[in-house]
């Protein structure tokens, strides 16, 4: 009978509880249900502590504080950091959030953004600017904007949305070389009412940092008017 009881218990759990987006097990605790991921799976995603370039966040295998790229071509942002690497569970969760509409994952990602702001960047900002969604993707919600709204509420920082906008439909960046990514995004973003950004210290947020093209293009526009631009992303590939 024991196996039957166990089976019945699991069946009950699976009917009444949502399941972990990582391992599929029922989410028993409220902190698990809040973010759609169980404690065990969350423990596998940790803040990246490897030596990094202090400007772009590139993982470094030497003792220099800046990477060669940042020395030769200083980016238009003062600093960028990612929470972890774009692989394994983190990659799966980002894709589930962006393309399968698992909206509760925004709570998990906001936890990661907050850890980056409080423990890594450790500075105050006048406002948060989310990287705008691609116009061509007719999704019902802008994943970065939704996370940014909660992030601003929780940190008590102003949401500066609607200023940085995407004005051109562009093919997905995935799989393109850095040169093609740059061309792909030429003229793709625009800054509306730049006087509202003028002189402000802003935090730009996005999901994935691959070659840094999107963050760089957005920061270029912002930094012409903003006093200072820093950026955070969930994962670096």
- Positions in the binding site for Zn ion (CB under 5 A): 20, 22-23, 38, 41, 53, 55-56, 58, 67, 70
| Residue 192 bridge partners (DSSP) | none
Smallest separation (angstroms) from Zn ion to the CB of 55: 5
- 32 or 207, CB closer to Zn ion? 32
- 38 or 226, CB closer to Zn ion? 38
Smallest separation (angstroms) from Zn ion to the CB of 182: 17
- 42 or 200, CB closer to Zn ion? 42
Long-range contacts of 148-154 (CB under 8 A, 24+ apart): 148/205, 150/106, 150/107, 150/110, 151/110, 151/113, 151/114, 151/205, 152/128, 154/110, 154/114
- 38 or 157, CB closer to Zn ion? 38
- 36 or 202, CB closer to Zn ion? 36
Smallest separation (angstroms) from Zn ion to the CB of 157: 26
Smallest separation (angstroms) from Zn ion to the CB of 81: 11
Q: Counting every residue, how long is the chain?
A: 237
Smallest separation (angstroms) from Zn ion to the CB of 151: 24
- 41 or 235, CB closer to Zn ion? 41
* Burial call 87-110: b when 16+ CB within 10 Å, e when fewer: eebbbebbeebbeeebeebbbbbb
Smallest separation (angstroms) from Zn ion to the CB of 225: 24
């Amino acid at each position: 009978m024991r196996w039957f009881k166990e089976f019945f218990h699991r069946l009950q759990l699976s009917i009444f509880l949502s399941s972990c987006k990582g391992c599929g097990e029922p989410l028993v605790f409220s902190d698990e249900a809040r973010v759609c991921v169980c404690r065990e799976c969350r423990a596998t995603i940790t803040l990246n502590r490897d030596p990094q370039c202090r400007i772009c966040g590139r993982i470094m295998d030497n003792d220099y504080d800046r990477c060669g790229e940042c020395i030769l071509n200083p980016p238009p942002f003062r600093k960028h950091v990612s929470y972890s690497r774009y692989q394994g569970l983190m990659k799966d969760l980002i894709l589930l959030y962006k393309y399968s509409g698992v909206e509760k994952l925004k709570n998990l990602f906001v936890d990661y953004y907050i850890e980056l702001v409080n423990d890594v960047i450790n500075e105050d900002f006048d406002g948060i600017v989310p990287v705008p969604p691609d116009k061509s993707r007719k999704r019902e919600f802008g994943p970065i904007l939704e996370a940014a709204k909660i992030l601003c509420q929780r940190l008590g920082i102003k949401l500066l949305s609607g200023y940085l906008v995407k004005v051109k439909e562009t093919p997905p960046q995935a799989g393109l070389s850095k040169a093609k990514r740059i061309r792909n995004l030429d003229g793709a973003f625009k800054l509306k009412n730049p006087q509202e950004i003028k002189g402000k210290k802003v935090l730009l947020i996005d999901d994935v940092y691959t070659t840094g093209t999107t963050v760089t293009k957005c920061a270029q526009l912002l930094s012409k008017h903003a006093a200072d631009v820093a950026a955070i992303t969930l994962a670096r590939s």
